[in-house]
Amino acid sequence: MLVVVGLIVAFVLIAVFSNRGTRACRWREYPKADDSVWTCVNCGATTRGPVGKAPRTCFRDGGQT
């Protein structure tokens, strides 16, 4: 019973603290020399950013290149 309660609490905490702005985004990195091109496989948005650090904002409405 304690395990079930722990799982429910874990799912609630994940739902509360997850970043809703990028919840549906699935970023793929294509690294270059100084920065990376990030493409969302869910919506097709593309942006540039630092190597190894996925975007924290969804660019679904038009994107940023």
Q: Would you list the domain boundaries of the chain?
A: 2-50
Q: DSSP 3-state assignment of 37?
A: strand
Contact 35, 50 (CB under 8 A): yes
For 53, list phi and psi in degrees, rounded to 5: -125, 105
> pTM of the entire structure?
0.54
Residue 39: how many CB atoms within 10 A of its CB? Answer: 17
Strands (E), the chain: 27-31, 35-40, 46-50
42 by Cβ neighbours in 10 Å (0-12 / 13-18 / 19+) ranks as middle
Q: What is the pLDDT of residues 20-64, one digit of tens each?
A: 555 567 889 998 878 899 888 888 888 888 888 888 777 766 544
